[in-house]
Chain A
Amino acid sequence: MIKLKFTLNNLPQELNVPDNMRLLDILRDELNLTGTKEGCSVGECGACTVLMNGKAVCSCMILSCQVMDTDIETIENAEQDKILKTLQDSFLKTGAVQCGFCTPGMIMSAKALLLENLQPSEEQIKTALEGNLCRCTGYVQIIEAVQMAADILHQDS
């Protein structure tokens, strides 16, 4: 067991978890935050994307000991966070969600981009989301959604 201390969606967390747990398991099984999805378990699909210290990472690739002292943000933070909320709204408006399984990961990858760049080009959006697979949408409306959110947030800033 590891005694873990980290920040989750702006709140301090302390909990004991087994050594073999991945960040994904900690979120879903220990904390019941099931917004983060498990799609492939090998870092190929991005459904489990969360932010670690502001960077998009696959939570299936992070072992519990590596979570110590980090700042983790998940899709559940959409209730409080302006960027996530704006992305959520723009995903709905552009039809960027079909079955929805990839959506939380897509939105987290998009937030990592928007933290650094509120005027991204189409190429930059594609690079930010290249690790997130989607079977339904063909990605077109997802790109539109990120562009729309960026425009709104840029105008507000």
Chain B
Amino acid sequence: MTNSRENSLRESYKRHPYIMNYKVGFTREGRIIAMKIDILADSGAYSSQTFFVTWRSVVQATGPYEIPHVETDIRSVYTNNCYTAAFRGFGSPQIIFAQESLMDEIAVHCELTPLEVRLINGFKQDSITASGQMLSEHKVSLRQVLNTAVEKADFVNKWQANREFIKLPPRYRKGIGLACSYRGCSLGAEGTDVSSAIVSIQADGSLIIITAVSENGQGLQTTMCQIACEILGVPLADAIFLAPQTSTIADGGPTVASRGTIAGGNAINDAAQKLKEDIFEIIKAELKVKALKDTIWKEGMIYTKSGKKPKSALSFKEAVEKALQAGINLSAYGWFKAPDVSWEEETGKGDAYFTYVYGCQIAEVTVDSFTGKISVDQVYAAHDVGQTINLLGAQGQIYGGVVQGMGYACTEDFNISAGEVLSDNFDTYLIPTIQDIPKITPILIENPDKAGPFGAKSLGEPTFELISAAINNALYNAMGVSSAALPLSLEQVFLNHNLKKPERQSMIACKTESSSSLSVISAKTVTPTTLKQALKLLADGKHNILAGGTDLMIKMRNSAETHQVVNIKPLSELQYVSLENDTLQIGSTTTFAEIIANPLVNTHFPVLASACSQIGSTQIRNIATIGGNIVNAAPCADSIPPLIFYDAELSLSSAKGTRTIPMKDFIIKSYHTAIESDEILTAVNIPLPQPPKSFSHYFQLGRRKALNITRISICASLEFDQDKKICNCRIVAGSLLEKPGRLPELEEFIIGRWIDEKLYRDLKYRLNSILNPKIGKRWSASYKIPVFVNLVIAAMADFKKQYSEYKNDQA
């Protein structure tokens, strides 16, 4: 049985959406006096962990700041949405987004830098938290993490410099923003906080390590083994981690709350120390030392300390042998019980957690003010971890947390409507790709904590919780406006509100009476050896053509019907690129990988090459064909606008004969074309562009930098006359209107004009009147019309630049 991704996204729990109201009182100097917080949390259909998630929010809602008067209320409501529970951060990312965005607003009011306002209010040693806890039992390192990150990023200088740009805005604007937090380690007053472990020394001196906390990929096995090996002075290679059955170890609580290292590690520490003491009792006479502290356990050896020089004594293996001979039990059970915490539900007062970690993340972004697209360029992530145990694992937590947090900040929009999940797979729920990641600088700060093994504390969740606020503050630095909502989608940034997406068009298009949620393909296939055979098979009009399959496979998966499939992929007569009689011919089953690698395409049709290189991913381009892209006729199909732009013609064949049709007339509307059910698209024919010199421009907008569904695209070319006036022009819009096509009214309007400020102003007015009636009431119109206006203006500016460069070259 396979649990489909769609079912997984429907049934698994999600992060709680919050609606937050923050009211804050502060002095002119920027000192915060009072904060009133009112939060509404969406619990979905069940309460699950809502009590605990919202409790952490309450404790940390004011951030790491000394605020004398605080009132925090949080209410959770049942809805018919997906139920919500523990998700990396556990109630902290939401409140940090609100509260750290608010800090930057306070800074603006008081004419302070974001750093100054945080230093004025930030926790110091022995500060009192909102719940009345004095932070006296650990090093309060907020200022240290802030100052280290700020220095490393050269934050203040960059922040000032970016603000200057707002006055003279270029299209792409730079922004830098920071956010900091304090976070309670482990479970705190949520519940009983204990953990268990077994360390068992084998006769050969190797260790078997068993813990109640479990490996999820975070590197816990390595960390647990490292702690035991460090204590007993054994090489890491001599330790084996065994994942226990639940019934074979005492309940040590869940592996959550970034508590694996601190809770599990303390239990290991307890077990390993017991063993060390027991072994020492056996060998102390031979070593001629009185106390364990007079020995050094290192690299499989036990040394005695004589003065400052370690003296070789005996190997760990020998000591183990002696202990076993003496009948000593070399398996020990370790137990961790967290230091006491307290909480009074009625007053919201108490020592909520036994220790805390502090973190600061700084994001540098580039915002495309024409489209609302944020690119995160660089992130500095400073985290006080107490003590780093596993450096590679710690860095991995930072990289992973930052990138996951970026998804939460910018693209991950869980679309649910009336209880129905609409973003149910990775084509609609967009997590960052490898192309989207910034340069990340991890900064590990160490203040060993008495509560942790070797002083280690927590890292997993702090790495995630800060970045959305840091990006939002960077957005403010770039644009002078920040957002009050997440995610910072194209629409949210550009319009300052999000647009409610309807069901995706591809799903509506393949919805028939036979649509199925079983996600199983039903097909009968036949693979002809010649085109003639294929056409004969198609004559009954009941067959589907399979070439690359990237569209058909999805369509078949969503349908309960049995599909009759003709596989034309092996037909070599359809897979070629050739130049004949000034026409480039592309066989219909040529893949996009082949097209973008073809020198003829790159030389003569750069816009087509650019567009095809942005389709899907490497894997998709390796099999998806140009013919399939055209015949599927998705509104976002990337190859179609350039083909219309270049006046391509399509060759269609059936058993009855062949015909050609201009690309521009082929698409009737989304997912509907002029192809007959017995026809195959055999070739795409593109006439070579004729001189005189024309300039071309292509821009494609997606929410990510790979695996994109194109939101909007523009292909444009211009020719100039002797007077630098535009004498010829063509502009094709993709993913804008009901079908891709040229915009003749726009082209006529531009011809005969100079490219200048007046043209830009006129374009805004004219384009709105051209596009408004054509787009109608589409959900995205309020975003797409002004963005397309911007893209046309950007194209004109680019042409002007290309023209002057060309003239300079000629001169």
Which residues of A lie under 8 Å from residue B401 when comparing CB positions? Answer: 138
Q: Which of B33-41, B178-186, B280-288, B563-571 contacts A (4 or more CB under 8 A)?
A: B563-571
Shortest distance between the CB of A146 and any CB in chain B (Å): 10
B393, B525, B549, B557: which contacts A41 (Cβ < 8 A)?
A: B557
Which residues of B lie under 8 Å from residue A38 when comparing CB positions? Answer: 2
B618 adjacent to A128 (CB under 8 Å): yes
- Interface hits, A102-157 → B, CB 8 Å: 109, 112, 126-143
Interface residues on A, range: 35 or more
> Whose C-beta in chain B lies nearest to the C-beta of A94?
B392
> Whose C-beta in chain A lies nearest to the C-beta of B704?
A130
With A2-B525, A63-B546 in contact, do A133 and B431 touch (Cβ < 8 Å)? yes
B4, B400, B402, B521: which contacts A20 (Cβ < 8 A)?
A: B521
B399, B437, B557: which contacts A42 (Cβ < 8 A)?
A: B557
Interface string of B505-539 (1 = CB under 8 A from A): 00000000000000111111111000000000000
Task: Assess whether B707 is interfacial by the CB under 8 Å rule.
Answer: yes
Q: Which of B214-222, B332-340, B649-657 contacts A (4 or more CB under 8 A)?
A: B214-222
B5, B399, B520, B569: which contacts A140 (Cβ < 8 A)?
A: B399
Q: Which of B54-62, B290-298, B480-488, B619-627 contacts A (4 or more CB under 8 A)?
A: B619-627
Which residues of B lie under 8 Å from residue A141 when comparing CB positions? Answer: 392, 395-396, 399
A95 adjacent to B219 (CB under 8 Å): yes
B620 adjacent to A43 (CB under 8 Å): yes
Task: Assess whether A8 is interfacial by the CB under 8 Å rule.
Answer: no
A45, A63, A126: which contacts B435 (Cβ < 8 A)?
A: A126
B553 adjacent to A135 (CB under 8 Å): no
Which residues of B lie under 8 Å from residue A68 when comparing CB positions? Answer: 527, 570
> Whose C-beta in chain A lies nearest to the C-beta of B567?
A65
- Interface hits, A64-108 → B, CB 8 Å: 64-66, 68-69, 94-95, 97-100
A39, A63, A142: which contacts B565 (Cβ < 8 A)?
A: A63
B549 adjacent to A19 (CB under 8 Å): no
Separation of A127 and B616 alpha carbons in the complex (Å): 11
A43 adjacent to B616 (CB under 8 Å): yes
With A49-B619, A143-B434 in contact, do A63 and B557 touch (Cβ < 8 Å)? no
A46, A64, A134, A136: which contacts B619 (Cβ < 8 A)?
A: A46
Which residues of A lie under 8 Å from residue B400 when comparing CB positions? Answer: 98, 135-138
Shortest distance between the CB of A129 and any CB in chain B (Å): 5
B525 adjacent to A65 (CB under 8 Å): yes
Which residues of A lie under 8 Å from residue B393 when comparing CB positions? Answer: 95
Interface string of B627-667 (1 = CB under 8 A from A): 00000000000000000000000000000000000000000
Shortest distance between the CB of B71 and any CB in chain A (Å): 37
Shortest distance between the CB of B424 and any CB in chain A (Å): 10
Task: Assess whether A60 is interfacial by the CB under 8 Å rule.
Answer: yes
B618 adjacent to A109 (CB under 8 Å): yes
Separation of A66 and B567 alpha carbons in the complex (Å): 7
B617 adjacent to A130 (CB under 8 Å): yes
Which residues of A lie under 8 Å from residue B520 when comparing CB positions? Answer: 20
Shortest distance between the CB of B4 and any CB in chain A (Å): 6
Separation of A16 and B521 alpha carbons in the complex (Å): 18
A63 adjacent to B617 (CB under 8 Å): no
With A136-B217, A138-B403 in contact, do A131 and B5 touch (Cβ < 8 Å)? no
Task: Assess whether B24 is interfacial by the CB under 8 Å rule.
Answer: no
Which residues of A lie under 8 Å from residue B477 when comparing CB positions? Answer: none
B5 adjacent to A40 (CB under 8 Å): yes
Task: Assess whether A56 is interfacial by the CB under 8 Å rule.
Answer: yes
Which residues of A lie under 8 Å from residue B553 when comparing CB positions? Answer: 22, 43, 60-61, 63
Interface string of B413-452 (1 = CB under 8 A from A): 0000000000001110001011101001000000000000
Which residues of B lie under 8 Å from residue A56 when comparing CB positions? Answer: 618-619, 622
Separation of A47 and B392 alpha carbons in the complex (Å): 24
A99 adjacent to B216 (CB under 8 Å): yes
Shortest distance between the CB of B509 and any CB in chain A (Å): 15
Which residues of A lie under 8 Å from residue B404 when comparing CB positions? Answer: 135, 138
Shortest distance between the CB of B595 and any CB in chain A (Å): 14
Interface string of B748-766 (1 = CB under 8 A from A): 0000000000000000000
Task: Assess whether A5 is interfacial by the CB under 8 Å rule.
Answer: no
Separation of A132 and B620 alpha carbons in the complex (Å): 11
Which residues of A lie under 8 Å from residue B706 when comparing CB positions? Answer: 130-131
Task: Assess whether A44 is interfacial by the CB under 8 Å rule.
Answer: yes
Which residues of A lie under 8 Å from residue B550 when comparing CB positions? Answer: 43, 61
Separation of A136 and B402 alpha carbons in the complex (Å): 10
Interface string of A42-60 (1 = CB under 8 A from B): 1111100100100111101
> Whose C-beta in chain B lies nearest to the C-beta of A100?
B217
Shortest distance between the CB of A80 and any CB in chain B (Å): 23
Specify which of B402, B437, B553 lies most central, judged by the most chain A CB atoms within 10 Å of its CB.
B553
Separation of A42 and B521 alpha carbons in the complex (Å): 12
Task: Assess whether B560 is interfacial by the CB under 8 Å rule.
Answer: no
B549 adjacent to A133 (CB under 8 Å): no
Which residues of B lie under 8 Å from residue A99 when comparing CB positions? Answer: 216-217
With A42-B425, A139-B437 in contact, do A131 and B399 touch (Cβ < 8 Å)? no
A98 adjacent to B396 (CB under 8 Å): yes
Task: Assess whether B554 is interfacial by the CB under 8 Å rule.
Answer: yes
Task: Assess whether B268 is interfacial by the CB under 8 Å rule.
Answer: no
B525 adjacent to A46 (CB under 8 Å): no
B217 adjacent to A41 (CB under 8 Å): no
Separation of A40 and B401 alpha carbons in the complex (Å): 22
Separation of A139 and B406 alpha carbons in the complex (Å): 13
> Whose C-beta in chain B lies nearest to the C-beta of A143?
B434
With A20-B523, A68-B527 in contact, do A133 and B426 touch (Cβ < 8 Å)? yes
A58 adjacent to B619 (CB under 8 Å): yes
Task: Assess whether A27 is interfacial by the CB under 8 Å rule.
Answer: no
B402 adjacent to A138 (CB under 8 Å): yes
> Whose C-beta in chain B lies nearest to the C-beta of A95?
B392
Separation of A105 and B78 alpha carbons in the complex (Å): 40
- Interface hits, B6-42 → A, CB 8 Å: none
Which residues of A lie under 8 Å from residue B357 when comparing CB positions? Answer: none
A65 adjacent to B425 (CB under 8 Å): no
Separation of A97 and B217 alpha carbons in the complex (Å): 7
A137 adjacent to B396 (CB under 8 Å): yes
Task: Assess whether B593 is interfacial by the CB under 8 Å rule.
Answer: yes
- Interface hits, B535-580 → A, CB 8 Å: 546, 548-550, 553-554, 557, 565, 567, 569-570
Specify which of B216, B219, B521 lies most central, judged by the most chain A CB atoms within 10 Å of its CB.
B521
B617 adjacent to A131 (CB under 8 Å): yes
Which residues of B lie under 8 Å from residue A33 when comparing CB positions? Answer: none
With A44-B427, A95-B395, A98-B396 in contact, do A140 and B619 touch (Cβ < 8 Å)? no
Which residues of B lie under 8 Å from residue A132 when comparing CB positions? Answer: 434, 617
B427, B437, B522, B548: which contacts A138 (Cβ < 8 A)?
A: B437
A19 adjacent to B524 (CB under 8 Å): yes
Which residues of B lie under 8 Å from residue A42 when comparing CB positions? Answer: 5, 425-427, 554, 557
Which residues of B lie under 8 Å from residue A112 when comparing CB positions? Answer: 618
Which residues of A lie under 8 Å from residue B398 when comparing CB positions? Answer: 138
With A46-B617, A56-B618, A138-B440 in contact, do A66 and B549 touch (Cβ < 8 Å)? yes
> Whose C-beta in chain A lies nearest to the C-beta of B399?
A138
17 of the cross-chain contacts (CB-CB < 8 Å) are: A2-B525, A40-B5, A40-B425, A41-B519, A42-B426, A44-B427, A65-B525, A66-B549, A68-B527, A109-B619, A130-B705, A131-B706, A133-B426, A138-B401, A138-B402, A140-B395, A141-B399
Contacts from A to B (Cβ < 8 Å): 2, 19-20, 22, 38-46, 49, 52, 55-58, 60-66, 68-69, 94-95, 97-100, 109, 112, 126-143
Q: Apart from A43-B553, A141-B392, what are 15 other A-B pairs with CB-CB below 8 Å?
A: A40-B5, A42-B557, A56-B619, A61-B553, A61-B620, A63-B523, A64-B525, A95-B393, A98-B396, A126-B435, A130-B435, A136-B400, A137-B403, A138-B400, A140-B437
Contacts from B to A (Cβ < 8 Å): 2, 4-5, 216-219, 392-393, 395-396, 398-404, 425-427, 431, 433-435, 437, 440, 519-527, 546, 548-550, 553-554, 557, 565, 567, 569-570, 593, 616-620, 622-623, 705-707
7 interchain residue pairs of minimum CB distance: A131-B617, A99-B217, A138-B399, A138-B403, A130-B706, A98-B217, A95-B392
